[in-house]
């Protein structure tokens, strides 16, 4: 494991890194957390790995493009983009991609750089967000403002992100099961929500070999609420209290349910090698919430620190991680 280094980082930022280097998160891991996810994975094991391919007519000299559909837990129809090289000899490495919060998988052509290197790429639309995947979550209580709180009033089994987390693992299994894909050479990458889901995918599907995560979301909810940054991606936490529990009578139950979808508790399950990029001025997914997860990963890992950057494009990162994803 490479240690977190402050070399070349301005003095005040070095202090930030030093402060967080041993931080283990504010979450309280439920006693039945591991049983909860083993039970969820058993439900996933009962899901078919069948899928439908629909050819998409996009001109290219190197790639074929498809919509791929599968049925996820709770009967949701999940749509992915699948892009593979036109010329395939033997088996090719596979790459999974996950998108940011509220968004979608973007353009098919965005993935051509990886397909040109010989990868088969599968990019999943999260259910009910900006893409085509169906959200079948049916819950009581607040559903208006965001997906973290969706189902929180009914308990962890009803949480929206429980289902999305399982979708990531099912997508990985489908990719690994394809005839043209080498199941021993699967990587995954994403930013923000996509970074979080990349880590989740590796935690739930231990055959994943490599992860690239940029400033991941969905971690350390108690700390995030304590920071009181209501312009961040976590604004729905305050929204829920404001409209559903203004006297905070259900505060402990609220956070206890969210512990089941907190990355800091899933991180120890990761076996893949991880490259992680963080902006120390990130107000959307503050660094402390990211260190809560990073510090729990025991597999090989490396942190790329951007002192003057926040939740935004990180220059040179693509060049830095290219060799990592291409080599073996």
| Mean pLDDT to the nearest integer, 82-87 | 97
* Cα–Cα distance, 62 to 47 (Å, whole number): 33
Q: How much of the chain, in percent, has pLDDT values that exceed 70? A: 95
- Judged against a pLDDT cut of 50, whether residue 11 lies above it is answered with no
> Residues 94, 181: contact at Cβ < 8 Å?
yes
| Mean pLDDT to the nearest integer, 210-227 | 96
Burial of 88 by CB count in 10 Å (0-12 exposed, 13-18 middle, 19+ buried)? Answer: middle
pLDDT attached to residue 15: 73
Can you tell me whether residue 212 is helix, strand or coil?
strand
CA distances for 251 relative to 218, 238, 254, 270, angstroms? 18, 11, 5, 30
Dihedral angle of Cα 135, 141, 145, 147, to the nearest 10 degrees: -40
Q: Which of 133, 192, 219, 232 is catalytic?
A: 192
Maximum alpha-carbon separation in the chain = 63
Mean of all residue pLDDT scores within the chain: 93
- Judged against a pLDDT cut of 50, whether residue 105 lies above it is answered with yes
Helix axes 193-204, 160-177, angle to 10 degrees: 60
Residue bearing tokens 């990886």: 114
- Given pLDDT bands bounded at 50, 70 and 90, which one contains residue 233? confident
Q: Where are the domains of the chain?
A: 11-326
pLDDT attached to residue 4: 45
103 is catalytic: no
Dihedral angle of Cα 268, 226, 275, 214, to the nearest 10 degrees: 130
> Residues 99, 125: contact at Cβ < 8 Å?
yes
pLDDT attached to residue 14: 67
Contacts of 306 (CB under 8 A, 6+ apart): 277, 278, 279, 280, 314
85, two tokens: 């090289």
314, two tokens: 């990180």
- Judged against a pLDDT cut of 50, whether residue 2 lies above it is answered with no
| Mean pLDDT to the nearest integer, 212-233 | 91
pLDDT attached to residue 12: 52
Q: What is the pLDDT of residues 157-208, one digit of tens each?
A: 999 999 999 999 999 999 999 999 999 999 999 999 999 999 999 999 999 9
Give strand pairing partners of 280. Answer: none
Contacts of 68 (CB under 8 A, 6+ apart): 51, 52, 53, 54, 79, 80, 81, 82, 122, 174
Mean pLDDT lowest for which of 68-82, 143-157, 228-242, 257-271? 228-242
- Judged against a pLDDT cut of 90, whether residue 3 lies above it is answered with no
pLDDT attached to residue 230: 76
Q: Which residues of 36-75 are buried (b: 16+ CB within 10 A; e: fewer)?
A: bbeebeeebeebeeebeeeeeeeeeeebbbbbbbbbbbbe
- Predicted model pTM: 0.94
220 is catalytic: no
For 324, phi then psi, to 5°, come to -60, -45
How many helical (H) and strand (E) elements, i.e. helices and strands, does the chain have? 11, 9
CA distances for 23 relative to 53, 150, 264, 267, 293, angstroms? 45, 28, 11, 14, 9
pLDDT attached to residue 138: 87
Strands 120-124 and 92-98: parallel
88, two tokens: 């395939």
> Residues 309, 281: contact at Cβ < 8 Å?
yes
Q: What is the pLDDT of residues 15-32, one digit of tens each?
A: 777 788 889 999 999 999
282 is catalytic: yes
pLDDT attached to residue 213: 98
- In CATH, what class is 11-326? alpha beta
């Amino acid at each position: 494991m490479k240690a977190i280094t402050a070399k070349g980082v301005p003095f005040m930022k070095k202090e930030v890194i030093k402060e967080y280097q041993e931080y283990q998160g504010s979450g309280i891991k439920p006693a039945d957390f591991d049983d909860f996810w083993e039970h969820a994975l058993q439900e996933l094991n009962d899901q078919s790995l069948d899928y439908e391919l629909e050819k998409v007519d996009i001109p290219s000299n190197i790639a074929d493009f498809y919509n791929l559909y599968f049925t996820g837990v709770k009967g949701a129809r999940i749509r992915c983009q699948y892009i593979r090289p036109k010329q395939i000899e033997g088996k090719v490495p596979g790459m999974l991609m996950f998108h940011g919060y509220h968004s979608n998988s973007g353009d098919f052509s965005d993935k051509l750089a990886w397909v040109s290197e010989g990868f088969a790429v599968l990019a999943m639309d999260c259910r009910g967000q900006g893409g085509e995947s169906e959200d079948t979550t049916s819950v009581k209580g607040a559903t208006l403002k965001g997906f973290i709180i969706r189902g929180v009033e009914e308990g962890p089994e009803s949480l929206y992100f429980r289902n999305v987390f399982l979708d990531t693992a099912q997508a990985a299994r489908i990719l690994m099961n394809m005839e043209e894909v080498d199941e021993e050479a699967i990587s995954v990458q994403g930013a923000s929500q996509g970074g979080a889901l990349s880590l989740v995918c590796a935690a739930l599907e231990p055959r994943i070999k490599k992860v690239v995560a940029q400033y991941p979301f969905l971690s350390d909810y108690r700390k995030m609420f304590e920071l009181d940054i209501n312009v961040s991606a976590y604004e729905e936490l305050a929204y829920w209290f404001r409209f559903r529990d203004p006297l905070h009578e259900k505060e402990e139950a609220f956070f206890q349910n969210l512990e089941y979808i907190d990355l800091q508790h899933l991180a120890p399950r990761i076996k893949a090698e991880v490259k992680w990029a963080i902006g120390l001025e990130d107000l959307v997914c503050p660094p402390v919430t990211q260190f809560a997860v990073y510090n729990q990963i025991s597999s090989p890992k490396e942190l790329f620190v951007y002192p003057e950057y926040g939740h935004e494009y990180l220059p040179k990162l693509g060049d830095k991680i290219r060799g990592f994803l291409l080599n073996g």
